Chains A and B, each alone.
Chain A
Amino acid sequence: MPFINAEVAAKTDYDVIVVGSGAGGGQMAYTLTMGGARVLMLEAGRNYDPVAEAAMFQTPEMAPLRGASTPDKPFGFYDATVDGGWQVPGEPYTQASTDETQRFDWWRARMLGGRTNHWGRISLRNGPYDFKPRSRDGLGFDWPIGYADMAPYYDKVEMLIGVYGANDGLENTPDSPEGCLLPPPKPLVSDLLVHKYAGKLGIPVIAGHRAVLTRQLDWKNSPAKLHPGNPAAQAIIAADMKRRGACFWTTPCGQGCSIRANYQSTTVHLPPALATGKLDIVTDAMVNEVTLGKDGRASGVHFIDRTSHRNISISARAVVLAASACETVRILLNSKSTQFPHGLGNSSGKVGKYLMDTVGSDLGGQIPLLESLPPHNEEGVSGLHMYVPWWQYKEAGKLGFARGYHIEFGGGRRMPGVGTATRLEWLTGGSYGAKFKEDARRYYGSFVGFAGRGEMIPNEKSYCEIDPKVKDKWGIPVLRFHWQWSEHETRQAAHMQKTFADIITAMGGRVRGEVKTDGAKAIEPGGSIIHEVGGAIMGDDARTSVVNPWCQTWDVKNLFLADGAPFPSNADKNPTLTIMANSWRVADHILERMQRKEL
């Protein structure tokens, strides 16, 4: 039985305990079990089966409030996330300041698969510059590894999970080797218009990269590249690749995919890992501490079984935390001992420091060219057929902010929702009656939205720590957040607004709402984009970083981190693909050390 209860797990011998079941934990469990290690995965939330539970074809009139977002379901009723959001009942976090601009809102998903159930599936590689940002502009930190170290793992992850895209040969926007990418979906008419008119402004518009199978994975050739010399692993993944369906061009990915055509940990990483027979999973296991042995090594973890409320300790030869950057930090800081009075792995005092999110700002416009078009199906892969990579590397230093952003955009005649045909007064002059119905038809599908996603530079004022007083309902001390954007981020957000307005205008369109020229108003609050990384950064020096280049804590040799916590920078590229590539890299290293009997 792969899904087991806490008592059974406590009596079993494991090589590695993996805390967390999302992108980092899923990849870790996959690579370790394929490599022969016996793994226990602990997930704080409930079990979740997207094949049985995903509400794919449900339409808004079947849902409460027509599926509108609520504080319970911030991304709409049918969003696949359950037991998650910016607030989780009974599990608070606190803000160090009452200043609204200094708050960090922490998104969590307490469920098997974690945030991979919800994410946008945007899968961009960091480029060579993104690993060495300090060398380029003197700000933030370099990674102790470079693009060449990560590239083979990007290749593998793309082949394993299935990522569509194209190779455009653009600066710091890496191409993938032959055989890695699936073909991109055909652009929508709105994409083609952005391509044409943004192109006239010198802004490149290229195929998006998302983890969606635009055709079946290459189960004949990829397995040997993924697991050279390991026929058992090749057979397992070939069989699983055959079972995953290709996209059938309907339903939003965020509602989950029962045919397994997109990546979420539960449909891609966990099934083959379970097929090895080497993986056990305990859900509802709220890990609060990594326990320390007398030899100074991690002896295992301690967790609270949320169903029985019992305290349980489990041991293993090595522990990997992949609980999401902030939860990993929380576990480390709550793991106090005489040897590590300020938390495990925290000799540097850097645990919790350099927390980052992504700079976000958006703006939409109405495009007369798109009005009253002949009806046609525009669902496609439900997002990002095309995008704009950062295009002004040559202008760095002249823009007033150091780092770049990419632009995600989208239009189309989508499934009407509660926002459809609303807020039209600025176009209609306040029509109602028969005229309003005509206006609704005319403007439906004529809007294009632009969202900037930019790099935040780590700073001393953005971090989390343990709140000295507040505990959650399990009695576990909670995180307290400190947050501050620098001008590098706020100016970038203002630049995004101007760029979006320029593109909309070039398309002959009209901007909807206000173009925010004040960056402090243009920028989304910290945590909004849900790209939390940092907090336990990797480096070459034990005094200034928490983990070494292998994401092994400097203090405890058999404790590794495999989520976004070790990121020393947060490139504009969405972090998930890099979390997976890095996790595979770390997993390979753990396997090697185990073979050398070092763990």
Chain B
Amino acid sequence: MDRRTTIKWMLAAAAAPLGHGVFAAVPAKVAAKPYGQDPKLLNVYHPGELWPLTFSAAQRRTATVLCDAIIPADATSPSASAVGVVDFLDEWISAPYPGQQKDRTIVLNGLQWLDKESGRRFSKPVHELDAQQLHAICDDICYLPKAKPRFVEAAKFFARYRDLTASGFYTTPEGRKDLQFIGNVPLASFDGPPLEVLKKVGLA
């Protein structure tokens, strides 16, 4: 284990204020083995192969709703859940590494908070909320600097969850296409930026 990463994580955890309610809970650690320093690089891996996954059916439902609230389908590309982001999130929080274990706490507690908040406000589970109801909750927690004190922990969760959802989405072929990434193919020559690009930034 990278001691520096571990220490960084421990310091960050120690510096963070103690959460309240569901955010104070510490989920059971995963006991799976890391993949080690000499994994087979040419294999194609799928979530669940290297370590067991975590999400219950209920957690999965809530996770899916939130993923797709962050990255819904639009004219350009599908939604996050349609390209396997929920599986990726589950793989991530189930991994036996310090950074992922920290996210495990944030994500599992956050999903639980979301379920409770949905029940409290609308007497419904998250997956039965209509778009307006879901956005009412998300709007309260989507931007930490403007979150009300009682939503601060939930806003921290949302920020991390949004990052993980983006990580999962933009690392798929559909996500790369959405960003119009061009590359990973051999070229005969490298010609630098096209003229229209240079013109746009004032260099031609």
Contacts and interface: CB of A to CB of B under 8 A. Distances in A.
Contacts of B76: 437
B163 A422 contact: yes
A86 B171 CA distance: 27
A376 B184 CA distance: 12
Given A59-B184, A417-B171, A193 B201 contact: yes
A441 B44 CA distance: 28
B100 interface: yes
Nearest to A48: B38
B156 to A, nearest CB: 11
Given A415-B181, A425-B144, A440 B170 contact: yes
A189 B163 contact: no
A63 interface: yes
A188 B194 contact: no
Of the four ranges (under 10, 10 to 19, 20 to 34, 35 or more), the interface on chain A belongs to 35 or more
B202 A369 contact: yes
Contacts of B98: 71
Contact of B71 (A414, A436, A444): A436
Given A55-B42, A430-B143, A432-B138, A71 B7 contact: no
A64 B50 contact: yes
Interface string B82-116: 00100010011001011110000000000000000
A59 B177 CA distance: 13
A3 interface: no
A192 B198 CA distance: 9
B17 interface: no
Contacts of B167: 66, 68, 417-420, 422
Interface stretch (B21-29, B117-125, B185-193): B185-193
B159 interface: yes
B50 A437 contact: no
Interface string A375-417: 1111111000000000000000000000000000000011111
B69 interface: yes
Q: Which of B91, B100, B175 has the most CB of A within 10 A?
A: B175
Given A58-B41, A189-B193, A71 B182 contact: no
A474 interface: no
B155 to A, nearest CB: 8
Contacts of A440: 166, 170, 178-179
Nearest to A81: B37
A65 B95 contact: yes
B4 A416 contact: no
Nearest to B135: A433
A488 interface: no
B78 to A, nearest CB: 11
Contact of B70 (A66, A192, A413, A436): A436
Contacts of A293: none
A70 B35 CA distance: 10
Majority secondary structure of chain A interface residues (helix, strand, loop or mixed):
loop
A88 interface: yes
Secondary structure of the B contact surface, majority rule: loop
A77 B193 contact: no
Interface in B38-57: 38-39, 41-45, 50
Contacts, number: 222
Contact of B2 (A62, A63, A85, A196): A85
Interface string A184-224: 01111100110010000000000000000000000000000
A100 B7 contact: yes
Contacts of A430: 142-144, 146, 159
A487 to B, nearest CB: 24
B37 A72 contact: yes
B148 interface: no
Interface string A357-376: 00000000000011001111
Nearest to A445: B179
Contacts of B71: 433, 436-437
A67 B171 contact: yes
Contacts of B69: 432-433
Contact of B203 (A74, A189, A247, A429): A189
Contacts of A423: 163
B42 A71 contact: no
A187 B192 contact: yes
A525 interface: yes
A86 B91 contact: no
A85 B37 contact: yes
A60 interface: yes
Given A71-B98, A73-B39, 13 more contacts: A58-B41, A66-B88, A73-B37, A86-B4, A89-B37, A189-B201, A375-B182, A413-B183, A416-B170, A420-B179, A423-B163, A437-B72, A525-B4
20 contacts: A64-B35, A65-B91, A74-B2, A86-B2, A100-B7, A105-B3, A185-B190, A189-B201, A189-B203, A249-B186, A249-B189, A379-B184, A381-B190, A413-B180, A413-B182, A416-B176, A416-B179, A437-B76, A440-B178, A441-B178
